[in-house]
Homo-oligomer: A and B are copies of this chain.
Amino acid sequence: MSTATKRHLGRCPIAFGTDVFGDRWTLLVLRDMLLHDKRTYGEFLDSDEAIATNILAARLRHLEAEGIVEKNRDPKNRRSFIYTLTEKGLALAPIIFEIIRWSGQYIPLNKARKNLLARIETDPDALLAEIQMRARKAK
């Protein structure tokens, strides 16, 4: 049982959620894993928001401790690691979808993001299934 799970038994589900992923950088790493299929430390560093290496390392450790992310040696390069979402991590996708739906009402989106929003609006289950399949194949 993860630290946050123990601390929140029988308590507020929002407080539990915010302890597990309620932080700007954690949400951006989850976005990169869920929507951009990123899996390596180098890929996470390479985003528009320019996360700092020490913050990234801390957030990945936290996500691993909470059972959201799994860290394994890359079979193609035994000196590096790949990070994949667990089932618990994949189950966060609907939260990310709702954030996109909300934001889409208040900022203009480029074409790729408009297409993503359209998929979320019309068939979120199909999109979720696709994300899950991709993540399971990566393990």
Binding site for B on A (CB under 8 A): 5, 8-19, 22-24, 27-28, 31, 35, 48-49, 88, 91-92, 94-110, 113, 117
Contact = CB atoms under 8 A, between A and B. Distances in A.
Q: Which one of A16, A24, A96, A103 has the highest number of Cβ atoms from chain B below 10 Å of its Cβ?
A: A103
Contacts of A104: 13
A11 B107 contact: yes
Nearest to A113: B13
A103 B13 contact: yes
A94 B96 CA distance: 11
- The count of identical subunits is 2
A109 to B, nearest CB: 6
Given A9-B108, A13-B100, A94-B102, 9 more contacts: A13-B102, A13-B113, A14-B28, A15-B49, A18-B24, A18-B28, A22-B23, A94-B98, A97-B98
A108 B94 CA distance: 20
A13 to B, nearest CB: 3
A18 B96 CA distance: 10
A107 B24 contact: no
B102 A91 contact: yes
A108 B8 CA distance: 9
